[in-house]
């Protein structure tokens, strides 16, 4: 059993390291093929590193390239993650940010187009997919991700307002540096980036599940063997067509767990009826896998 666990751990480490490499390549493509040629600023610390590069090039005797700026900006957050989140998480975050910085420097810009709309959209898609893939494999790309995890653990709240304010600052800076049309293009790129992250990273999306079944105990046991979810039972429901007695089960899962839910239902009651809708908001405790 211990040998199997060691093999699984090694597989997870290799998967995370491979994802870090892929993210580094994708963010460098977004930066060097789209954002830089189109004068587009990204969101978060990547966008801040671009801004520092622009300002240092124009107003200071030394130029701080985005690759160096990105890594330097993250150093205080590496320390925060090491103390507040976990050592393994911090190690892979450092690896991811280092590889991103290295790839941005190593892969030279290719000016496919200077059209700011194309650059905003395709840069956002490429970077968003890379970020979502990283989050899906439980590694962080640094920056405000770390702050968000720490604040959510301490207070249960998100840092949505901080994220919005930070990105408004980046967009405003793009307007002052390149002209206000480019601020709007950067805003489009940030929105596309967020949508691409949501497309790739489904763990944070919550789904409300209603199951009508004749075999509630079997279904509950099967679901809970696949995922750590609480389930509420509504007794004595009645079918309107043939008036048979039914039980209704209610639970909430992440979109990431959809395949596990489908597998659990297929195993326990293939004739069960399930209605699944997106949950707009959740109050109260919802179990989330802890990062190490």
Q: Strand pairing partners for 67?
A: none
Is 168 within a domain?
yes
Does residue 146 sit in the same domain as residue 56?
A: yes
Task: Check pLDDT > 80 for residue 105.
Answer: yes
In a domain, 246, yes or no: yes
More confident residue, 259 or 153: 259
Burial 194-210 (b: 16+ CB within 10 A, else e): bebbeebbbeeeebebe
116 within domain boundaries: yes
**Do 146 and 14 have their domain in common?**
yes
Q: Domain check: are 148 and 213 in the same one? A: no
**Claim to verify: residue 259 and residue 158 sit in the same structural domain:** no
pTM of the predicted structure, to 2 decimals: 0.75
**66-80, 114-128, 162-176: least confidently modelled range:** 162-176
Answer yes or no: is 288 within a domain: no
User: Could you give the CA distance from residue 116 to residue 113 in angstroms, rounded to a whole number?
Assistant: 8
pLDDT at 46: 93
Question: How far is CA 22 from each of CA 56, 104, 141, 277, rounded to the nearest angstrom?
Answer: 29, 12, 12, 32
Q: Which of 184, 200, 216 is the last residue of a domain?
A: 200
For CA atoms 159, 165, 169, 171, give the dihedral sign. positive
Indicate whether 183 belongs to any domain.
Answer: yes
Q: Both 220 and 140 in a single domain?
A: no
At residue 3, the pLDDT reads 67
Of 168, 200, 232, which one is at a domain's C-terminal end?
200
**pLDDT tens, residue by residue, 176-193:** 888 899 999 999 999 998
Domain count of the chain? 2
* 10 shares its domain with 154: yes
Domain C-terminal end among 132, 166, 200: 200
| 171 lies in the same domain as 210 | no
Asked if residue 292 is part of any domain, the answer here is: no
Q: State residue 291's pLDDT score.
A: 56
Residue 266 lies in a domain: yes
Span of 4-13, 16-25, 30-39 with lowest mean pLDDT: 4-13
Does residue 15 belong to any structural domain of this protein? yes
Same domain? 217 vs 186:
no
Angle at alpha carbon of residue 231, lines to 227 and 233, rounded to 5°:
150
How far apart CA 3 and CA 171 sit, in angstroms, is: 51
CATH assignment at residue 255: 3.30.70.120
Range of the domain at 210: 206-278
Residues 248 and 176 placed together within one structural domain of the fold: no
Confidence of residue 69 (pLDDT cuts 50, 70, 90): very high
Cα four-point dihedral sign 68, 113, 184, 142: negative
């Amino acid at each position: 059993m211990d040998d199997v666990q060691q093999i699984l751990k090694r597989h997870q480490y290799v998967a995370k390291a491979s994802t870090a490499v892929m993210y580094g390549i994708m963010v460098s493509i977004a930066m060097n093929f789209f954002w830089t040629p189109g004068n587009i600023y990204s969101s978060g610390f990547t966008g801040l590193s671009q801004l520092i590069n622009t300002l240092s090039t124009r107003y200071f005797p030394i130029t701080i390239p985005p690759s160096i700026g990105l890594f330097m900006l993250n150093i205080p957050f590496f320390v925060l993650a090491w103390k507040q989140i976990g050592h393994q998480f911090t190690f892979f975050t450092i690896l991811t940010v280092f590889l991103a910085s290295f790839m941005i420097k190593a892969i030279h810009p290719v000016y496919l187009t200077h059209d700011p709309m194309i650059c905003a959209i395709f840069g956002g898609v490429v970077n968003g997919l890379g970020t979502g893939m990283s989050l899906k494999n439980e590694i962080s790309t640094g920056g405000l991700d770390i702050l968000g995890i720490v604040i959510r653990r301490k207070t249960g709240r998100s840092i949505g307002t901080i994220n919005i304010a930070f990105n408004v600052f980046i967009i405003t800076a793009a307007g002052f540096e390149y002209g206000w049309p480019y601020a709007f293009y950067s805003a489009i790129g940030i929105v596309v980036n967020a949508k691409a992250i949501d497309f790739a990273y489904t763990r944070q999306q919550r789904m409300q599940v209603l199951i009508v079944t004749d075999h509630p105990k079997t279904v509950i046991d099967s679901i809970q063997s696949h995922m750590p979810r609480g389930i509420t039972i509504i007794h004595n429901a009645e079918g309107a067509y043939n008036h048979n007695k039914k039980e209704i089960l209610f639970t909430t899962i992440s979109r990431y767990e959809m395949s596990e839910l489908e597998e659990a239902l297929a195993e326990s009651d293939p004739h069960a009826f399930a209605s699944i809708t997106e949950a707009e908001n959740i109050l109260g405790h919802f179990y989330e896998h802890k990062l190490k």
